[in-house]
Amino acid sequence: MNIFKGLVDYIKGSKTELKKVVWPTKHEIIQHTLLVIGISIGIALFLGIVDYIMTLGLEAIIK
């Protein structure tokens, strides 16, 4: 029975803590999502360019 009391206390504590959370607004979620997408695209472009340049350099060395 001690296990069940601990589980119930854990669930009650979790519920109490979730009420204290300050959830982001819809506007903030959209802004952060767009920021992550933009950064991801930027990094992908940068790595693609670096890969292309290194491939050209390696091909020049091999020939």
- 3-class DSSP assignment, residue 41: helix
pTM of the entire predicted model: 0.66
Residue 1 above 80 pLDDT? no
Q: What is the pLDDT of residues 35-59, one digit of tens each?
A: 999 999 999 999 999 999 999 999 9
| Spatial distance between the Cα atoms of 39 and 54, rounded to a whole number of angstroms | 22
- Which DSSP letter does residue 23 get? P
> In this predicted model, which residue has the larger pLDDT, 1 or 19?
19
Distance of alpha carbon 9 from alpha carbon 36, whole angstroms = 37
- The domain ranges of the chain are 22-63
